Structure 1
Amino acid sequence: MDKSEINIQKTSDIPTIAHQEDFDKIFCFQKIENLKHYDETIGHIESVYACSSNIKATEEMPIFVNKDKNCPFRKQSLMKFAHLKSVVEIDSFENIISLVENGKGIALLPKWLNKRANIKPYDQDIVLIPFYQYENQNQSR
């Protein structure tokens, strides 16, 4: 029987773990140097600044960012809004989504989340967040 296991880690911890363990695929927001036996592909996540579709977004709303200092969603958000809005650090992506859905603020989120009933784009900007995919060359284990 095929078994899948997903191991979620902080962006900053992935390079170390990737060198210590063997994975079929690794998705990471930073390049992993000297990673042997993996093929590297660079992709992009289409992202938008999102707010709740249940209320009218206001200029006073805070911007939610991930606590992980290496998170590219955080970096992009701070470049655009740090001087305009109050910034609230949250340590969970799911909590950020929930706060946005409940109208508590805005956040840079993957565009596909707009399919959720309570999320809509805050503005028209599309932000491409680069990511790295590493695929193990030894898939037959």
Structure 2
Amino acid sequence: MNFNDLNIYKTIYETKSINKAAKELGYAQSNLTARLKAIEHELNSTLFVRSNQGVAPTDNGNKVYRFAVKALRNWQKLQDTLVIRKTILSSELLVNFLIAKKKFFITDYAVTIKKSNQLESELTQRYYDVVVTFNQFDLPNYRLKQTANLPACFLKGKQEDGSTCPIAINSDLTCPFRKLTLKLCPDKTRLLEIDSLETIMQLVKRGEAVALLPQYLIDNDYQKVNDHNFNIPYYCYQYQI
């Protein structure tokens, strides 16, 4: 039994229903039923009596609930007293934007960067305290805390007019910059697929391509192609036990 199991047990106890607990935690009901059976098997004890009205705790079930509440409270107190670097999972574009805008301090986090199409798979392997992503998802214990926008525009190299350059797009099919570029640019013959954000940025910097990129990149090496601005929504999720 781990802390996640204790939280599952506590929620079932307090809602008096496996179905209600599943909805509250974002699990499938069958998963919670399986976890409860595993807990009862590990403790070699019946903790709830099932009925059509839900579940009712046994005497042992009440004891386990008191233990779960105390253990979870102590775990939270321990976390509050320790200096722990929180973990954050995001894509390269978003991490650079958040750092540039001082949305978080890099020294406070252990940062993992993945492509947009790899984030959800990564979350099945381990948990992260914070996930910042262009794509919404629905996974147990992750709660949406904020929705915001990343300002974007088409950028070109400082010495180029950009009118005849190819338009570089990310080959990641889930990339929102790719999706918006395809929507805005009907002339598909100008599109150039690249499997690297760094390569796209270097091509734009050298004047060999234009691309839809975050506005925070505008400096001595990048300038706007035109006056059109776009907002790319992103989502911030927080892990909660």
Identify the TM-score tier after normalising by the shorter chain: 0.7 to 0.9
Normalised TM-score (structure 1): 0.86
Deviation of the 1:2 alpha carbon: 5.4
Q: Is the 8 A contact 2:167 2:190 kept in 1?
A: yes
Which letter does structure 1 place at the counterpart of 2:171? K
Cα deviation 1:48-77 (Å, max 9, x = unaligned): 10001122322x211000010010000111
Q: Which letter maps to 2:216?
A: W
| Equivalent runs, 1:60-99 vs 2, <5 Å | 60-83=164-187, 85-99=189-203
Q: Matched residues, percent identical?
A: 25
Closer/same/farther in 2, CA of residues 32 and 84 from structure 1, 3 Å limit: closer
TM-score, length of structure 2 as denominator length: 0.52
CA contact (8 A) 1:66 1:91 kept: yes
| Partner SS for 1:5 | strand
Look up the match of 2:149.
44
**Retained in 1: the 8 A contact 2:141–2:240?**
no
When residues 64 and 39 of structure 1 are mapped into structure 2, their CA distance, relative to the original with a 3 A threshold, is same
1: CA distance, partners of 2:196 / 2:186: 20
- Write the mapping of 1:1-141 to structure 2, written as runs, cut at 5 A: 3=85, 4-58=109-163, 60-83=164-187, 85-114=189-218, 116-137=219-240
Richer in helix (by share):
2
Mapped to 2, the partners of 1:76 and 1:112 lie a distance apart of 18
Instruction: Please give the alpha-carbon distance, in whole angstroms, between the structure 2 residues aligned to 1:49 and 1:85.
Output: 17
RMSD: 1.8
Q: CA deviation at 1:80?
A: 1.0
Structure 1 runs not aligned, ≥5 long: none
Whole-Å Cα distance in 2 between the matches of residues 73 and 83 of structure 1?
A: 16
Aligned residue identity for 2:234: F
After superposing on structure 2, the runs of 4+ consecutive aligned residues of structure 1 that deviate more than 6 Å are none
Residue-by-residue CA offset, 1:93-121 (whole Å, 9 max, x unaligned): 1111111010001100101101x311000
Distance 1:27 1:62 in 2: 30
Q: Deviations over 1:10-53 (max 9, x none)?
A: 21221222233111211111111134143432111000100011
Supply the distance in 2 between the matched residues of 1:23 and 1:101 (Cα, whole angstroms).
34
SS in 2 for 1:6: strand
Secondary structure of the residue aligned to 1:54 is coil
Q: Higher relative CO (CA 8 A, sep ≥ 6), structure 1 or 2? A: 1
Contact 1:64 1:106 in 2 (8 A): yes
- In the alignment of these two chains, the number of paired residues is 136
Give the Cα separation in 2 of the matches to 1:40 and 1:92.
29
Contact 1:39 1:136 in 2 (8 A): no
